[in-house]
Copies of this chain bind each other. A is one copy, B any other.
């Protein structure tokens, strides 16, 4: 009897243990985990590095700086330091300079599975896709889908070309729109306030083909322009002031490039899909991946497209396929998440703008750009800009050098004269990390309330 009880206990344990065995086996084979072979080590490595604790004020990267051993250290946000970025640096300078779109980083940290990418060592080694083009057809398909879902650009029956960020694409467009055989170079113009790189880049590459000729308003209505080849770059929404801009020049000798980097619901109402001859976009201001360097142009004319293709070949023999793959993965994730990224980006930028307006309105010392509401077809409602940059004006006579006023208050912006405007203006970037924005608001608040610019004084 005793033995029988022992036996049946054994039996029960055995059955239990075997069931557990089976569960493990099912989990391993049906769950698919066991199937992983070559990617497993890399996946563990990536997840381990991604899990390094940086106090919410930084992150560790697979190719991040290694100081001791082979573990990458935390890459801390401005004003934070220490091995885990937990130490705040008092009196540090608020960085509102560059347009690093890190405000979107939290979105991707919340959407890890849909945006993760695994690449085999032998992936896409060739210069081309299928021996034909430098550019991925599948990526172009996804780009079209994203535009269609947002309704910000017409892409049917249009050509799409990629480049290393909108930077390289804009340059390719200027080269492609210049006359081929002419003694007088095309005049490239931009209207004040303009995106500084357009000027710098055009001057840097200027040749017999084209020359930078400054502010578009200066040339408008001049009779000597009617027979000259003109190229106008229209940044819309504009960098620095976020306004939806229109071309100043029109006519048979005029070519227009629309830089639509910021034409997303993140930053602006979308009144209608844009349908211009050459429209430039970039992953940087859509998903926030500035470092991937992936921009594109949507082009009506096949000759212009072909000339831009030649530019891309001469300049860099196409564009990194790793950048194209990353873009493919991220834009697919954008589509998978429905309106997710747009809602996140719009809410973030809107709330930042409102905090800024609230702070600036505490005194008369500074003013911000106009922000007239418009109907947005994406959100089916009237809404304001939630701009990427504040175009801040120092209103006092003695504050002619607005950059210096802010610098003295420990804030780094970008001088107005870089945009062709007066130095009474400064551009403040609102797209950086939450830390950068919080510190900017803190410093601005202090400047406005402690200074003599207080409205109550």
Chain A interface residues (CB < 8 Å from chain B): 3-4, 6-7, 10-11, 13-14, 17-18, 20-21, 24, 28, 32-47, 50, 59, 61-66, 72, 75, 78, 95, 98, 100-102, 104-105, 108-109, 111-131, 136-139, 163-165, 167-168, 171, 197, 200-201, 204-208, 284, 288-294, 310-311, 314-326, 328-330, 333
Contact = CB atoms under 8 A, between A and B. Distances in A.
B205 A206 contact: no
Given A115-B121, A118-B119, A320-B323, 8 more contacts: A14-B14, A17-B20, A33-B34, A39-B118, A65-B137, A65-B138, A115-B122, A116-B121
7 contacts: A3-B7, A95-B131, A104-B125, A108-B125, A164-B319, A204-B311, A316-B316
B46 A39 contact: yes
What 5 pairs across the A-B complex have the smallest Cβ distances? A115-B121, A38-B112, A164-B316, A46-B118, A291-B321
Contacts of A78: 131
Contact of A116 (B11, B39, B310): B39
Contact of A290 (B7, B101, B126, B319): B126
Given A14-B10, A37-B47, A322 B326 contact: yes
A113 B139 CA distance: 27
Contacts of A318: 291, 293
Between A3, A11, A36, A163, the greatest number of chain B beta carbons within 10 A of the residue's beta carbon is seen for A36
B10 A118 contact: no
Contacts of A43: 36, 39-40, 43, 118
A292 B321 contact: yes
| Interface secondary structure of A, over-half rule | helix
Nearest to A171: B315
Nearest to A166: B317
A322 B322 contact: yes
Contacts of A164: 164, 315-317, 319-320
Q: How many copies does the complex hold?
A: 2
A196 to B, nearest CB: 11
A64 B14 CA distance: 49
A119 B116 contact: yes
A170 to B, nearest CB: 10
A15 B6 CA distance: 15
Between A122, A200, A325, the greatest number of chain B beta carbons within 10 A of the residue's beta carbon is seen for A122
Contacts of A293: 316-321
Contacts of A21: 17, 20-21, 24
Contacts of A41: 113, 116
B125 A120 contact: no
Contacts of A292: 320-322
B36 A290 contact: no
Between A63, A116, A328, the greatest number of chain B beta carbons within 10 A of the residue's beta carbon is seen for A63
A241 to B, nearest CB: 21
Between A43, A289, A294, the greatest number of chain B beta carbons within 10 A of the residue's beta carbon is seen for A43
Contacts of A326: 119, 322
Nearest to A131: B78
B127 A108 contact: no
Contacts of A130: 65, 75
A117 to B, nearest CB: 4
A62 to B, nearest CB: 7
A235 to B, nearest CB: 15
A329 B119 CA distance: 11
Contacts of A330: 121
A114 to B, nearest CB: 7
A423 to B, nearest CB: 23
Contact of A120 (B33, B44, B46): B46
A323 B325 contact: no
A118 B39 CA distance: 8
B125 A288 contact: yes
Given A164-B164, A322-B326, A118 B121 contact: no
